[in-house]
Chains A and B, each alone.
Chain A
Amino acid sequence: MDTTVPDIHERSVSPHAEYRWTTTEIVVTATIAVTFGVVFWSWNLLWTATGGAFSALPPLQGLMYGVWLVPGVLAGLVLRRPGAAFFAATLAAVVSALLGSQWGLVAVVYGVAQGAAPELVFALRQYRATLTTALAAGLAAGVASLGLDLALYYPTWAPNWKWLYALTLLSSALVVAGCGSWALFRALRKTGVLSPLPAEAPPAAKAPALPGA
């Protein structure tokens, strides 16, 4: 068996793919979202608990932010087609709301923003899965979240606190949501678990017909 995985550029799907989403693609994307929903469940309580700890210098709480942005970026890398990032991020938020997150509908609004922003980046980068794309996508999700946070929660902060918060949040977005998602994506590819996805098929095999015919 070939243990080296070919360069991802060679295998990326055309962004104007003519085929509809396969069931596998839909369920895998949804499962990425749901898996992070499970992981966040323990983190959500941590966020509330550390709120007190960060009260000395609240803008530092931005450092924890990156994890929440991973599902959208990771889904975009794994699926490499329009809508993947958006679907994953929104679903992760909806699931957390349905499970009783204290943020309810607000979480969904955030999810939509945290999915739409990377979606834009992936489109501009033509759905090529590279480290640069991942970093840009993570950063974009961070910017969207930052905007929402400053508008909704921290409008009365002094400018220097706002800058500090931006710094910590965006760093976290870049490192965790950008690099972190990239690392996860690479590791997943090597395990072979992504091979049923059309995005992993060699280019020659991708006819407009539905995969599996």
Chain B
Amino acid sequence: MTAAAVTARGFGYRAAGRDRWVPRDVSFQIAPGERILILGASGSGKSTILRCLAHLLDPSGTRRGEVLIDDQHPSQSRHRIGLLMQDPDAFFALDRVGDDIAFGPQNQGLPRDVVRSRTEKALNIVGLDLPLAHKVDELSGGERQRVALAGVLAMQPDLLLLDEPTSQLDPSGALLIKDAVSSAVASRDTTLVVVEHRVDLWLDLIDRVFIVDDAGDLITGSLNEVIDTAAAQSTWLHPPATSPRPNAIEGEPRRTAQAPVLHAKSVTFSYTSASPALADVTCDVDAGHVMAICGPNGSGKSTLARALGGLIVPDDGSVRATANLVRDTNSHLLSTDIGRWSSRDLAGRIGSVFQNPEHSFVEQSVRAEVEFGPQVMAASIATDELLERMALTHLAAFNPFTLSGGEQRRLSVAAALATSPDVLILDEPTFGQDPATWKELLHLVLDQRAQGRAIVVVSHDERFVDAVATTTWRLEQGRVVGRQLQDEQ
């Protein structure tokens, strides 16, 4: 293994069907064995740079400029490069841990005993003590991420490229990944390029920082140099922990009168006959308040949100709407049990925004998407005004599936708000979002709260919850274990 040197001159890429070059004009040099961190807003082209180095760009786009690995075209160095991309659910080739980690070395044509030893070594580096026959499906999220990393490390690449390797993980899981990477590159036999949002995590490991700015150009330098330059562009750097809480700045009213809209009583639900996802949960949702639901993975947060959204019917107990919510329908009498509501009744009263916005899209243009809900309810809507508010006007004719992640997030929220529901439920709204979108969502939630909407937020983003929640409910293993009011935080 000899670490690779990388040179880029004026590299740019334009995706099929788009007019912007993202990145636009990127030039840099990386010495063998160096460790680089790439920062930048979502959609600024960071992943594209990595894919170009690995010679795995989407062929339908156009590229310009030059990229060289040890003075050669990247296609000559494919076998020396290890690329780990973002989505751990779209990575695995085989169903057992040992077989999958061996996949890379096998394709490199290595003899069986070498493949075996590399597999074991890679598992060691990522700190997993698992039998090789363990099924990938039965791993936790953090373990899957580490097995994926092991699969790339087993190829012993000269250039290691990691695209947001910790984005799906909680802080302890992220640290495990970072430690694994540290040991893998310790001997400086491997050049490392990491794309990440969590600057503080990687600080002690990296040599230099590259920043891809909003225009698609690159700033490079040591950490201090670069952070100073970018301080003015703080849209994409996480707000430092010491900044004052936003709602203190905004001057939002702290407390409005209690006006309950939903009562959940003794809600119990299980997906399979195994352990229940929710057990005997009782809570209220009030207008003009933000109810945050927190807890570890598997605690039933999303399940509770779906029950409150009328999307699943509890096995036991019920979620009932108050008279405020039921309102006049003038065509039929509406039950208070929201699990019995028709899809149309639900849309006008309770809006649910999902973690993956694409799950909600039903139309072929942004405009139609926003108008869909009101059409179903035979109501009218000031479409242009709503599009304007959500900064989607320039995208009105586009197909929702062609939008960027942040744009899709705004669209799914706009579509939910289009029917003027009294309740808005958001499932992990800040998950995987860059700091700019984070702030947008913060302002949106506070704005809606001030307008009197009842909001439910499921999140493990403590900072976001701190900033917006009126009441925080904690769940563990399907049960309510704590409830905190805003003043007490």
Per-residue CB proximity of A165-189 to B under 8 Å, as 1/0? Answer: 0000000000000000000000100
Whether A191 lies near B401 (C-beta < 8 A) is yes
User: Which of A3, A196, A200, A201 is the one whose CB lies under 8 Å from B399?
Assistant: A3
B399: chain A residues within 8 A (beta carbon): 3, 190-192
Question: B18 within 8 Å of A by Cβ?
Answer: yes
Whether A192 lies near B364 (C-beta < 8 A) is no
Centre residue among B17, B55, B398 by max chain A CB count within 10 A: B17
Question: B488 within 8 Å of A by Cβ?
Answer: no
Question: B16 within 8 Å of A by Cβ?
Answer: yes
Whether B57 lies near A3 (C-beta < 8 A) is no
Per-residue CB proximity of B34-59 to A under 8 Å, as 1/0? Answer: 00000000000000000000011111
CA distance A2 to B397 in the complex (A): 10
B358 (CB) vs chain A CBs: closest residue: A191
CA distance A19 to B17 in the complex (A): 24
Per-residue CB proximity of B54-76 to A under 8 Å, as 1/0? Answer: 01111110000000000000010
A190: chain B residues within 8 A (beta carbon): 364, 399
B57: chain A residues within 8 A (beta carbon): 212
Whether A192 lies near B402 (C-beta < 8 A) is yes
CA distance A29 to B58 in the complex (A): 17
Whether A187 lies near B364 (C-beta < 8 A) is yes
Question: B19 within 8 Å of A by Cβ?
Answer: yes
Question: A142 within 8 Å of B by Cβ?
Answer: no
B19: chain A residues within 8 A (beta carbon): 1
CA distance A196 to B59 in the complex (A): 7
B402: chain A residues within 8 A (beta carbon): 1, 191-192
CA distance A58 to B19 in the complex (A): 56
Whether B59 lies near A1 (C-beta < 8 A) is no
Given contacts A3-B399, A191-B399, contact A201 B60 (CB under 8 A): yes
User: Which of B18, B58, B397, B400 is the one whose CB lies under 8 Å from A196?
Assistant: B58
A1: chain B residues within 8 A (beta carbon): 17-19, 398, 402
Question: A213 within 8 Å of B by Cβ?
Answer: yes
CA distance A190 to B59 in the complex (A): 19
Kindly provide the distance from the CB of A98 to the nearest chain B CB, expressed in whole angstroms: 11
Whether A193 lies near B60 (C-beta < 8 A) is no
Which residues of A in the span 185-213 have a Cβ within 8 Å of any Cβ on B? 187, 190-193, 195-198, 200-201, 211-213
Interface residues on A, range: 10 to 19
CA distance A200 to B60 in the complex (A): 8
B75 (CB) vs chain A CBs: closest residue: A213
CA distance A193 to B402 in the complex (A): 8
User: Which of B18, B55, B59 is the one whose CB lies under 8 Å from A198?
Assistant: B59
A191 (CB) vs chain B CBs: closest residue: B401
CA distance A164 to B353 in the complex (A): 47
Per-residue CB proximity of A129-168 to B under 8 Å, as 1/0? Answer: 0000000000000000000000000000000000000000
Kindly provide the distance from the CB of A140 to the nearest chain B CB, expressed in whole angstroms: 30
Per-residue CB proximity of A42-72 to B under 8 Å, as 1/0? Answer: 0000000000000000000000000000000
Whether B59 lies near A211 (C-beta < 8 A) is yes
Per-residue CB proximity of B362-400 to A under 8 Å, as 1/0? Answer: 001100000000000000000000000000000001111
B59: chain A residues within 8 A (beta carbon): 196, 198, 201, 211-212
Given contacts A190-B364, A198-B59, A211-B59, contact A3 B401 (CB under 8 A): no
CA distance A1 to B16 in the complex (A): 9
CA distance A30 to B428 in the complex (A): 31
A191: chain B residues within 8 A (beta carbon): 364, 399-402
Kindly provide the distance from the CB of B67 to the nearest chain A CB, expressed in whole angstroms: 14
Kindly provide the distance from the CB of A62 to the nearest chain B CB, expressed in whole angstroms: 30
A197: chain B residues within 8 A (beta carbon): 60
A192: chain B residues within 8 A (beta carbon): 16-17, 399, 401-402
B57 (CB) vs chain A CBs: closest residue: A212
CA distance A187 to B361 in the complex (A): 12
CA distance A201 to B60 in the complex (A): 6
Centre residue among B18, B364, B399 by max chain A CB count within 10 A: B399
Kindly provide the distance from the CB of B464 to the nearest chain A CB, expressed in whole angstroms: 30
Given contacts A1-B402, A190-B364, contact A196 B60 (CB under 8 A): yes
Which residues of B in the span 1-56 have a Cβ within 8 Å of any Cβ on A? 16-19, 55-56
Kindly provide the distance from the CB of A146 to the nearest chain B CB, expressed in whole angstroms: 35
Whether B60 lies near A195 (C-beta < 8 A) is yes
Kindly provide the distance from the CB of B467 to the nearest chain A CB, expressed in whole angstroms: 34
Kindly provide the distance from the CB of B99 to the nearest chain A CB, expressed in whole angstroms: 16
CA distance A169 to B59 in the complex (A): 41
Whether A195 lies near B401 (C-beta < 8 A) is no
Per-residue CB proximity of A110-125 to B under 8 Å, as 1/0? Answer: 0000000000000000
Whether A195 lies near B75 (C-beta < 8 A) is no
B364: chain A residues within 8 A (beta carbon): 187, 190-191
B397: chain A residues within 8 A (beta carbon): 3
Sample of 23 A–B contacts (CB below 8 Å)? A1-B17, A1-B19, A2-B17, A3-B365, A3-B397, A3-B398, A190-B399, A191-B364, A191-B399, A191-B402, A192-B16, A192-B17, A195-B16, A195-B17, A195-B58, A196-B59, A197-B60, A200-B60, A201-B59, A211-B59, A212-B57, A212-B59, A213-B75
Query: Which B residues fall within an 8 A CB radius of A?
Result: 16-19, 55-60, 75, 364-365, 397-402
The 5 closest A-B pairs by CB, nearest first: A191-B401, A211-B59, A212-B59, A192-B402, A195-B16
Given contacts A191-B364, A195-B58, 5 further A-B contacts (CB under 8 A): A1-B398, A190-B399, A192-B402, A193-B401, A200-B60
